[in-house]
Amino acid sequence: RRPCFKICYICGREFGSQSISIHEPQCLEKWRTENNQLPSHLRRPEPRKSEVLTGGSYTLTAENEAAYQSAQAQLLPCRNCGRTFFPDRLMVHEKCCR
């Protein structure tokens, strides 16, 4: 059986229940720095952590699904092939995409 991990709502990576609280503030600061360096047409609104409540209590699965959807909303499609990337990686990809 696999241990329970939480998904970061910013980057979509999995972390343990103790390390997610350390990771998220650092990840958000990194996201802000990278977002501010992008051209204005590629800048995105800051991701928000969704509060998931199902019947008065939350489940880890529902919380992870909401975090995953939040991370996926940050992706932008390539103008050539349609694949999605984080904005900083999109510029690198588009240089070599045909």
* Residues in Cβ contact with 66 at an 8 Å cutoff, skipping those fewer than 6 apart: 9, 50, 52
Domain boundaries, the chain: 5-95
| Distance in angstroms (rounded) separating the CA atoms of residues 78 and 91 | 9
User: pLDDT at position 30, please?
Assistant: 93
Q: Which residues in the chain come in under a pLDDT of 50?
A: 54
pLDDT of residue 32: 93
| Amino acid 82: pLDDT | 92
What is the pTM (predicted TM-score) of this model? 0.74
